[in-house]
Every structure is written in C-alpha cells, then in structure tokens.
Amino acid sequence: MNAPDPDLPELLTSGEVARLFRVDPRTPARWAIAGRLTAIRTPGGHRRYKSADVLDLLRRPADEPPATS
C-alpha cells in the first residue's frame, strides 16, 4: 500500500472522493457497495473513505478488478 498523500485528510467524504474522480457524489457509495472502495461508517451513518484507499483506486487502471483480501 502507498503512503497517504500529505495534502489529503486521513478520511474523505463521498463528496471529496467524487470531486477527485469527477463523478456523481453518489458514486463512491456505489463503489463501496460493489466492493471497489472500503467505506467506514461514522456514528451518524455517513460513509468516510481512507485517503490511502482512494489513492490506490485512483492509480488503478479502470479495467483492473479491485484487490481482494
């Protein structure tokens, strides 16, 4: 896994992830449901995404399947 970008916060909102990828704000949640991106739930039920996971997805070729653990 790559080191997180020092310019990004540790956890990103769906809106922040969407802006990085230039996609609809609902898309990161869809990716989490599909297993492409791991989401952490806040006590209020909102999704947050680790910046390192987001950067890994950003660097992955579009046709490459997600890594499984």
Q: What is the mean pLDDT of residues 14-36?
A: 96
Give the separation between CA 28 and CA 38, rounded to whole angstroms.
9
Single pTM value for the model: 0.76
Give the domain ranges of the chain.
11-59
Give the pLDDT band (50/70/90) at residue 9. confident
Start-to-end CA distance of the chain, whole Å, equals: 13
Strands (E) in 1-69, as ranges, are 11-12, 40-41, 47-50
- Helices then strands, each counted (H, E), the chain: 3, 3
pLDDT of 3 above 70: no
The CATH number of the structural domain formed by 11-59 is: 1.10.1660.10
Q: Tokens 């540790």 identify what position?
A: 10
DSSP conformation class of 26: T
